[in-house]
Amino acid sequence: MNETEEIRKACEALRSSINATFDRLFLILDEKERGETEVLPTPTEYVYPLTADTSIFIGKKPIAVLFGEERVEANNWRKVFAAVLSRCNTDAECHEMLMYLRNKAGGQVRVFLSDNPDGMRRPLRVDEDMYAETHYGSATLMHILVNRILAPAHFDCSNISIVIKPE
């Protein structure tokens, strides 16, 4: 899947979420106008594609990661990061790319992937001789995962979504 298709898919998922929210609000307003007191149930979760703009994750609490229909529980951003990176690492070609990226992909202060945890503030062991830095906020952590690790590893994340708890 190319970048344009990924952007279109992310845009459509966001539009669907926004439309569902406004549809619910219109139903509530219609019921109030008719004098009905029954309130529609509040959604228990929202689903966003992993490739969505990471700013939507700020202040949100994850519940799980969806790999297609498979649901993996992840109640914090570090667990989301670990679940997705672990899935990437199980693919032989992606594993080789991740191994190549160790000690190369990094920010101004710390590397994102390393062959050892030295110098990392919150290392996550991904595999033997592979550690990832996870000491970032939700938006930064997801940006690093998708754009700085998964994209160079050529991992297809088009079928991965994050389940978010409603506010």
User: Residue 126: is its pLDDT beyond 90?
Assistant: yes
Q: Which domain does 47 fall in, by range?
A: 43-164
Whether residue 20 is contained in a domain is answered as no
User: Residue 16: is its pLDDT beyond 80?
Assistant: no
Whether residue 146 is contained in a domain is answered as yes
Cα–chain-centroid distance for residue 29? Answer: 33
**Count: domains in the chain:** 1
The reported pLDDT for the residue numbered 38 is 59
Whether residue 16 is contained in a domain is answered as no
**Residue 68 Cα distances to 89, 95, 100, 120, angstroms:** 17, 21, 27, 32
Please tell me the pTM assigned to this model: 0.76
